[in-house]
Amino acid sequence: MSKKSLSIPERDIPISMEADVVVAGGGPSGFAAALAAARRGLSVILIERYGFLGGMATAGAVGTICGMYLHHPDKIEFIIEGTAKEIAEKLTAMGGAFGPFIRESFTALIYNPWHMKRLCDKLIGDEPKIKLMLHSYAADVIVSGDEIKGLVVASPEGLFGVRGKIYIDATGDAVLALASGVEIKKGDDKGGGAVMTPTMMFFAQGMDLVRYQQEGMAVLNDRIRDAVSTGKYSLTVSQGLIIPTFRPGEAIVKISALTKDGRALDGSLVSDLTYGELKGRADAEVAVEFLKKEVPGFENAFLADTAVQLGIRETRRIVGEYILTEDDVLSGRKFDDSICFSSWPLEKWEEGMTEPELVFLDEGLYYGVPYRSLVPKRIVNLLVTGRAISMDHGALASARVMGVCMACGQAAGAATRIILRSGARTRDIDVEELITDLKRDGARLD
């Protein structure tokens, strides 16, 4: 029992399926990537660890789609269109989204996670070029030289292999990139590696939404701060967010910042995830007790459920052909290879904070995300999308949000057709052709 490692016997793992494109992760960036590739005639394998798609949009129960709109105090204008706008419009048509709304210089769309889940089912399920594999996880990557040759997938059936020509890492944690030997960064850029604090969303039912909007909304954050300062309730933040779900008496609630011994939990560590899930559910019970006693409209409310998983803001990021920086974001820098724009503020949930530090872009200003930030330096047939793209810790505070993730996913999926048709490496594609293609697909890139 003294041996500290396990020897895995050599074995042949059968290749269960092959496709032009393999996408690992079915969250906002992953399903957008899969749709974009399939709609361009490519065969796609989409691997998702849960029994449903949507990632943070569903499992994390975020409840708002952020980053799609131009920063303006009194005007609503899409800055990200394409797949993200399609999702927003279809959710609204289903009765599963409301808005967008402007609040304190934020513009966001409220949505119901259930409707997002069902919309993903329909969009992916109705696409004949996509082979969806739920309850499956990319456990390992087979690399030869500078190229991925296949993935080892773990599932209830055991291990099996899948093979593609192009791979898209939409795991949010750079799982494929890490296993492929791509250079990785994690957390802040000061050497400590501290990540932004995760949260646990939960569903409250039995509330009087009208009374809350008339009386409770105005006092919510003051009551939270009073509770924190007096220690009457063991709340971990000094502000909250109540998001109606369009079901009678129900809202999604965010009153949580999860740490351990003062350290932000790291969503790429199993030990931190385990601690956070347990602590997050316990914190939700405390938060509901606080709301019932202190906030008008919640007198008869109860905790219906928590999100399926923690709301993760940050784990790993790749070092790619370009590292998007905080200065790029705040200065509104655009690039010749910008594949989307956004004007979402820096929304920093740093270790030790009880509320976010917000740094807004100037009114009407927006920045670009370059295609090069999706391209790792080492592996020639891998693209990375979502919150794990190549950017620094400060840029991630803006570009991690759902609207940007969907736009990056759409760009990654669109790029695969150009790569396969031309035979180019991911870093060497005709970017002008990609931008023309994305514009034709509804993206706003002017």
pLDDT digits (tens, 9 = 90+) for 363-413: 889 999 999 999 999 999 999 999 999 999 999 999 999 999 999 999 999
Residue 1 above 60 pLDDT?
no
Q: What is the pLDDT of residue 352?
A: 87
The residue assigned the tokens 């590739």 is 37
Q: What is the pLDDT of residue 312?
A: 98
Q: Which pLDDT band holds residue 7 (cuts at 50, 70, 90)?
A: confident
Element (H, E) at 244: strand 241-244
Q: Which pLDDT band holds residue 135 (cuts at 50, 70, 90)?
A: very high
Strand pairing partners for 150?
Answer: 142
Q: What is the pLDDT of residue 217?
A: 96
| Domain definitions of the chain by residue range | 15-191+314-440, 202-306
Mean pLDDT calculated for residue range 74-99 = 95
Residue 82 · residue 60 · CB < 8 Å: no
| Residues in contact with 278: Cβ distance below 8 Å, sequence separation at least 6, in sequence order | none
Query: CA-to-CA distance for 196 and 198, rounded, in angstroms?
Result: 6
Q: What is the pLDDT of residue 213?
A: 95
Q: What is the pLDDT of residue 278?
A: 99
Q: What is the pLDDT of residue 142?
A: 97
Residue 135 · residue 155 · CB < 8 Å: yes
Count other C-beta atoms under 10 Å from residue 421's C-beta. Answer: 12
Work out the mean pLDDT of the chain and round it to a whole number: 96
Query: CA-to-CA distance for 142 and 154, rounded, in angstroms?
Result: 14
120 or 71: which leads in pLDDT: 120
Q: Which pLDDT band holds residue 193 (cuts at 50, 70, 90)?
A: confident
Q: What is the pLDDT of residue 62?
A: 98
Residue 213 · residue 297 · CB < 8 Å: yes
Q: What is the pLDDT of residue 73?
A: 76
Q: Which pLDDT band holds residue 3 (cuts at 50, 70, 90)?
A: low
**Three-state secondary-structure class, residue 343:** coil
Query: CA-to-CA distance for 15 and 17, rounded, in angstroms?
Result: 6
Q: Which pLDDT band holds residue 190 (cuts at 50, 70, 90)?
A: confident
Mean pLDDT calculated for residue range 8-27 = 95
Q: Count Cα atoms within 13 angstroms, Cβ side, for 392.
A: 13
102 or 155: which leads in pLDDT: 155
Q: What is the pLDDT of residue 36?
A: 99
Q: What is the pLDDT of residue 104?
A: 72
Q: What is the pLDDT of residue 370?
A: 99
Provide the token pair at 289: 């007790």
Q: What is the pLDDT of residue 15?
A: 96
Query: CA-to-CA distance for 271 and 261, rounded, in angstroms?
Result: 14
Task: Specify the CATH superfamily of domain 15-191+314-440.
Answer: FAD/NAD(P)-binding domain (3.50.50.60)
The model's pLDDT over 165-175, given as tens digits with 9 standing for 90+, comes to 999 999 999 99
Mean pLDDT calculated for residue range 32-40 = 99
Residue 331 above 70 pLDDT?
yes
Q: What is the pLDDT of residue 2?
A: 61
Q: What is the pLDDT of residue 230?
A: 92
* Rounded CA Rg of the chain: 21
The residue assigned the tokens 């939270």 is 224
